[in-house]
Amino acid sequence: MENLTELFGSKVFNDSTMKKRLPKETYKALQKTIKDGKHLDINIAHVVANSMKDWAIENGATHFTHWFQPMTGITAEKHDSFISPTDDGNIIMEFSGKELVQGESDASSFPSGGLRATFEARGYTAWDPTSYAFIKGNTLCIPTAFCSYGGEALDKKTPLLRSMEAINKQAMRVLKLFGNSDVTSVKTTVGAEQEYFLVDKDMHDKRPDLVFTGRTLFGAMPPKGQELDDHYFGTIKSKVAGFMKELDEELWKLGVLAKTEHNEAAPAQHELAPIFSTTNIATDHNQITMELMQRIAKKHGMVCLLHEKPFEGVNGSGKHNNWSITTNTGKNLLDPGETPHENAQFLLFLCSVIKAVDDYQDMLRISVASAGNDHRLGANEAPPAVVSMFLGEELSEILESIEKDEGYDAKEKTIMKVGVHVLPRFAKDTTDRNRTSPFAFTGNKFEFRALGSSASISGPNVVLNTSVAESLKQFADELEGAEDFDYALHELIKKTIREHKRIFFSGNGYDDAWIAEAEERGLLNLRTTPDCLPYYVSEKNIKLFTDHKVFTETEMRARYEINLENYSKIINIEALTMMDMAKKDILPAASAFIKQLSDTVVAKKSAVSGIACTYEEDLISRLTALVNSMYSDVQALDNELSKTSDIEDAQKLAEFYKDVIIERMSKVRSSADEIETMTDRGCWPYPSYADLLFGVR
Ligand code: ADP
Ligand code: MG
């Protein structure tokens, strides 16, 4: 391998490359645009584009694309070549400033939730200069936002950038109150830990469920599962190690700070953790990571499954969103400081998150909702659908003493007074112990653990940034007018803890008793995607996002619509795939096996008249009963599915899929899985769970 430091970022048009290649004036102007979010002058864009093109061509690129994140799970790109004809019939390689900063795209092939009906079908993409351009294969990729011509966001980047602006604005007001005159901007930071499964490609391709839906719709449990806990941090198999090595190298070339790779709890499950970066870059990088995982796995004869629940009965995959707030001077605002003053500031920012998580539990829940993630949340392997917060023992005690104006140190009986006392440093291992909490303070950041593995991290971070911006706004409004700042601050923190402490929970989040207690506390328990989605368009939530200019009401209604549609579409595809597999493979296989058994009985009896055929006859009758009942379950599913076309209301349709179709599907599955346990291995049409989970060596 080349020198690692040379490798890192070698395919990124990053700051050092820009510094090297751009004229000084251009570099400065671009930096100003990036730092202050100013509009980029077209003449500067021309110079940048030209230099970017030369660099890209030197690095093997022939095409460019505006790389964007529409409201589907994937990223989209439309490739154009740099080629431009000249008068003398030759070509030159060209890339203009206009092509860099703005592109046109046909929006009609991407979901718009009705935005398309009111606006033109065309959309445009606009460069996000805060996220560097990079080369993928032979293509220069320019990270862009994607909007309709009416200016409505059709993607996941636009609201994220808006939410970062919202929290910047409000955090700056609060920081000013604490006299931080050197700080000029605030950004949120994210490190997204990514879980995934690797399965053998040939086996994968033999399963229509994996091919069409990304998860298994059938499959009996193998004799060995994850009960031995021998996979977690176990030795990495050589094929997987080869994959991880290449993945790391490719990610490093793209400037993605991949840091740790290890096995996870379930067999065939792994995790990648990057070093954190600014939220919008972390979001782009997580998309790139998921894309590369899938591509590189194929090269190594495997398929990377990013679905939240590829195997029933085996832990699914999530994503941990580690989130914090940092100033341009490098101070982490969720890190307790050395002085009472810094501590007071820390406590206020901490309170802003506490208040946000309590006030916007519903939006946080929605931000992780999907048909896939519904299989995980609350299933004793991932945090429950109830949003709560874990602060660790030490910090909880301190907050309690502030709330009650009591001594927090049992020995010294000191009264914890904000702005007067120094906080202890929170040792990480004492705060990170609770893995069952959806939202945990881990010493200097919060870890939101309810995200699904396949989703963009944009949604949860839009909600976090905006809801915390709202808390900070209310705090600033109150403190800016205060006569005695320290007193007002102390009272505000006390009041916030008192009003929102119901969100604190340090027990076992997987325990049923907690769900009952949470309901008593008035916390929301929105179990499934159709349960939570209507909250998207509640008055309170529309007010939040429109006040902070993150979404317009139209955009929110559109997103609500798209999420509902996605949910129904996914379940529909799963149901159709299931019926197809049942009718064309599983039932015929079982029937053929029954015939084979019957032929054996006839043969045996003709060889030795009156011989007992207990094994065959017993199996024939049990299997026949199961096959008959599975057949009627399939017909029932088919029958219910035919009703879906009559349901026009999108919410009602999603609920029908949730309540009726999923129920029917589980009936079909349970007969099929039982049939599998009784059928000759050689007759079974698909690789089994054991093959898939233990097939990569
Ligand atoms: P673990 O969760 O395994 O204990 P760490 O706490 O070191 O590991 O980090 C988990 C993730 O949190 C990493 O991706 C790391 O980069 C990220 N992280 C650390 N500090 C911050 C921060 N200030 N803001 C956002 N993410 C952070
Ligand atoms: Mg973690």
Distance CA 692, CA 567 (A): 27
CA-to-CA separations, 608 to 325, 458, 597, in angstroms, rounded? 82, 71, 16
Of 111, 194, 105, 177, whose CA–CA distance to 144 is shortest?
105
Identify the residue whose C-alpha is closest to ligand 1 atom 11.
191
Helices (H) and strands (E) in the chain, counts: 26, 17
pLDDT of residue 411: 46
> What mean pLDDT is predicted for residues 284-301?
96
Consecutive H or E run containing 124 = strand 122-127
Name beta bridge partners: 583.
none
pLDDT of residue 228: 57
Joined together, the tokens standing for residue 219 give 């499959």
Ligand number nearest to the C-alpha of 274 = 1
Joined together, the tokens standing for residue 319 give 């994503």
Name beta bridge partners: 390.
440
Highest mean pLDDT among 121-125, 264-268, 431-435, 476-480: 476-480
Task: Collect all residues with Cβ–Cβ distance below 8 Å to 602 and sequence separation of at least 6.
Answer: none
Render 352-387 in DSSP notation, one character per residue.
HHHHHHHHTHHHHHHHT--TTGGGTBTSSSB--SB-
Distance CA 582, CA 189 (A): 47
pLDDT of residue 472: 98
Q: What is the pLDDT of residues 627-644, one digit of tens each?
A: 999 999 999 999 999 999
Render 648-683 in DSSP notation, one character per residue.
--HHHHHHHIIIIIHHHHHHHHHHHHHHHHHS-GGG
Ligand number nearest to the C-alpha of 273 = 1
Task: pLDDT band for 453, please (50, 70, 90 cuts).
Answer: very high
Radius of gyration of the chain (CA): 28
Q: What is the pLDDT of residues 603-662, one digit of tens each?
A: 999 999 999 999 999 999 999 999 999 999 999 999 999 999 999 999 999 999 999 999
Q: Which is the closest atom of ligand 1 to the Cα of 432?
A: 4
Q: φ, ψ for residue 155 (rounded to 5)?
A: -140, -170
> What mean pLDDT is predicted for residues 138-144?
94
Q: 684 versus 392: which is more confidently predicted?
A: 684
Task: pLDDT band for 415, please (50, 70, 90 cuts).
Answer: very low
pLDDT of residue 80: 85
Q: Which is the closest atom of ligand 1 to the Cα of 275?
A: 16
Q: Is there a contact between 452 and 194 (Cβ–Cβ < 8 Å)?
A: no
Residue with tokens 């629940």, as numbered in its chain? 309
Q: Which is the closest atom of ligand 1 to the Cα of 443?
A: 6
Task: pLDDT band for 81, please (50, 70, 90 cuts).
Answer: confident
Q: Is there a contact between 81 and 63 (Cβ–Cβ < 8 Å)?
A: yes
Residue 367 has pLDDT above 90, yes or no: yes
Residue 259 has pLDDT above 90, yes or no: no
Q: Which mutation among 257, 278, 322 tests ligand 1's pocket best, with the greatest number of atoms within 8 A of CB?
A: 322
Joined together, the tokens standing for residue 46 give 């021309």
Task: pLDDT band for 407, please (50, 70, 90 cuts).
Answer: low
Q: Which is the closest atom of ligand 1 to the Cα of 273?
A: 14
Name beta bridge partners: 326.
187, 332
- Give the Cβ contact number of residue 631 at 10 Å: 17
Q: Is there a contact between 425 and 43 (Cβ–Cβ < 8 Å)?
A: no
Distance CA 403, CA 393 (A): 15
> H helices within 178-308, ranges in order?
201-205, 208-213, 238-253, 279-299
Start-to-end CA distance of the chain, whole Å, equals 25
Give percent of the chain above pLDDT 90: 71
Render 134-198 in DSSP notation, one character per residue.
EEETTEEEEEEEEEETTS-B-BSHHHHHHHHHHHHHHHHHHHHHTT-TT---EEEEEEEEEEEEE
pLDDT of residue 508: 87
Q: Which amino acid is at 518?
A: A
Identify the residue whose C-alpha is closest to ligand 1 atom 4.
432
Distance CA 620, CA 614 (A): 10
Q: 35 versus 249: which is more confidently predicted?
A: 249
Q: Give the Å distance between the CA of 447 and the centre of ligand 2.
A: 7
Q: What is the pLDDT of residues 535-591, one digit of tens each?
A: 999 999 999 999 999 999 999 999 999 999 999 999 999 999 999 999 999 999 999
pLDDT of residue 261: 78
Q: Can you tell me whether residue 11 is helix, strand or coil?
A: coil
Task: pLDDT band for 410, please (50, 70, 90 cuts).
Answer: very low
Q: φ, ψ for residue 290 (rounded to 5)?
A: -65, -40
- Structural domains present in the chain: 4-155 (3.10.20.70), 163-218+229-408+436-551 (3.30.590.10), 568-694 (1.20.120.1560)
Name beta bridge partners: 447.
322, 440
Distance CA 184, CA 162 (A): 18
Task: pLDDT band for 402, please (50, 70, 90 cuts).
Answer: confident
Q: φ, ψ for residue 35 (rounded to 5)?
A: -70, -45
Strands 389-390 and 439-441: parallel
Of 582, 593, 583, whose CA–CA distance to 678 is shortest?
593
Q: What is the 3-state secondary structure (H, E, C) of 450-504?
A: EEECCCCCHHHHHHHHHHHHHHHHHHHHHHHCCCCHHHHHHHHHHHHHHHHHHHE
Q: What is the pLDDT of residues 50-65, one digit of tens each?
A: 999 999 999 999 999 9
Q: Which is the closest atom of ligand 1 to the Cα of 322?
A: 26
Q: Which mutation among 433, 445, 448, 464 tests ligand 1's pocket best, with the greatest number of atoms within 8 A of CB?
A: 445
Q: What is the 3-state secondary structure (H, E, C) of 581-647?
A: HHHHHHHHHHHHHHHHHHHHHHHHHHHCCCCCCHHHHHHHHHHHHHHHHHHHHHHHHHHHHCCHHHC
Identify the residue whose C-alpha is closest to ligand 1 atom 23.
324
Which class for 79: exposed (0-12), middle (13-18), buried (19 or more C-beta within 10 A)?
Answer: middle
Q: 113 versus 90: which is more confidently predicted?
A: 90
**How long, in residues, is the chain?**
697
Rounded to two decimals, the pTM is: 0.93
Of 59, 68, 262, whose CA–CA distance to 161 is shortest?
68
Q: Which residues surround ligand 2, an ion (CB under 5 A)?
A: 320
Distance CA 260, CA 282 (A): 16
Q: Which mutation among 256, 276, 283, 321 tests ligand 1's pocket best, with the greatest number of atoms within 8 A of CB?
A: 276
Task: pLDDT band for 696, please (50, 70, 90 cuts).
Answer: confident
Identify the residue whose C-alpha is closest to ligand 1 atom 6.
442
Distance CA 330, CA 602 (A): 82
Instruction: Please give the mean pLDDT across all residues of the chain.
Output: 90
Q: Which is the closest atom of ligand 1 to the Cα of 192?
A: 14
Ligand number nearest to the C-alpha of 448 = 2
> What mean pLDDT is predicted for residues 88-108?
83
pLDDT of residue 413: 37
Distance CA 521, CA 376 (A): 23
Q: What is the pLDDT of residues 238-253, one digit of tens each?
A: 899 999 999 999 999 9
Of 257, 471, 466, whose CA–CA distance to 353 is shortest?
471
pLDDT of residue 468: 98
Q: Give the Å distance between the CA of 312 and the centre of ligand 1.
A: 30
Q: What is the pLDDT of residues 302-333, one digit of tens each?
A: 999 999 999 999 999 999 999 999 999 999 99
Q: Which is the closest atom of ligand 1 to the Cα of 447?
A: 12
Residues at CB less than 6 angstroms from ligand 1: 189-191, 193, 273-276, 322-324, 332, 432, 442, 444-445
